[in-house]
């Protein structure tokens, strides 16, 4: 990878419905699951610390320890069975929101000299250009393969949209990030 200092490079693309669907399936389903796990862990920690604050350390510490261990085991068993159901329900709800034009306008790709950012109604995901392992160009799409804990593919449509400057993006990726494989 050969990232040069191109401090003036900046592009912003509005995502189209097909791109939103692909990103929802890849990124956001996993993101919902991660956020639900994080929130449930915070709840578990709150319960344990709340219980700890109401015990007599000399008399009740061993009982608190056993009770906390039982809560953690119960939590892990219950969480694993419900986490998928909760994240799928949240993801299905998010898929319904995609139908609203006002929310679709909030999905964007933002490319700068140092990062690729995907903005969506619930937040944003950012990847440095150094995490791009491979770039593949087809007739209709540019695929950016991202390495990391969870490997992702960013799919960018090459269809002739008026607001997109695909040639600028392709030139930047080819000259500064990685060789583009043309299929």
Place of tokens 């040639």: 167
Note the pLDDT of residue 3: 47
Is the pTM for the entire model greater than 0.85?
Answer: no
Encode pLDDT of 144-180 as tens digits.
888 876 677 888 887 765 557 888 888 889 888 888 8
Pick the residue with more confidence: 6 or 43? 43
The residue range of the domain holding 120 is: 1-183
Q: How many domains does the chain have?
A: 1
* Neighbouring residues of 57: CB distance < 8 A, sequence distance ≥ 6: none
DSSP 16: P
Query: Nearest Cα to 142, choosing from 128, 158, 162?
Result: 158
Decide if pLDDT at 6 tops 80.
no
Name the band, by pLDDT with cuts 50, 70 and 90, for residue 77: confident
Encode pLDDT of 90-109 as tens digits.
767 766 766 665 555 677 88
CA distances from 12 to 99, 106, 109 (A): 22, 12, 6
* Neighbouring residues of 163: CB distance < 8 A, sequence distance ≥ 6: 13, 14
d(CA 90, CA 31): 11
Note the pLDDT of residue 58: 75
Please, are residues 32 and 94 in contact by the beta-carbon 8 Å criterion?
yes
Encode pLDDT of 56-68 as tens digits.
777 788 888 888 8
What's the farthest any 2 CA atoms get from each other in the chain? 73
């Amino acid at each position: 990878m050969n990232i040069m200092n191109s401090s003036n490079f900046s592009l912003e693309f509005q995502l189209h419905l097909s791109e939103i669907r692909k990103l929802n399936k890849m990124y956001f389903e996993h993101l919902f699951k991660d956020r639900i796990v994080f929130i449930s862990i915070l709840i578990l920690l709150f319960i344990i610390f709340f219980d700890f604050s109401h015990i007599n350390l000399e008399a009740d510490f061993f009982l608190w320890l056993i009770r906390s261990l039982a809560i953690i085991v119960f939590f892990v068993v219950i969480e694993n069975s419900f986490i998928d159901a909760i994240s799928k329900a949240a993801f299905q709800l998010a898929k319904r929101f995609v139908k609203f034009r006002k929310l679709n306008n909030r999905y964007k790709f933002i490319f700068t000299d140092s990062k690729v950012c995907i903005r969506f109604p619930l937040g944003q995901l950012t990847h440095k250009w150094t995490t791009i392992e491979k770039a593949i160009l087809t007739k209709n799409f540019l695929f950016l393969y991202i390495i990391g804990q969870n490997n992702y593919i960013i799919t960018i449509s090459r269809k002739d949209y008026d607001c997109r400057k695909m040639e600028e993006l392709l030139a930047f990726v080819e000259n500064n990030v990685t060789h583009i494989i043309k299929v």
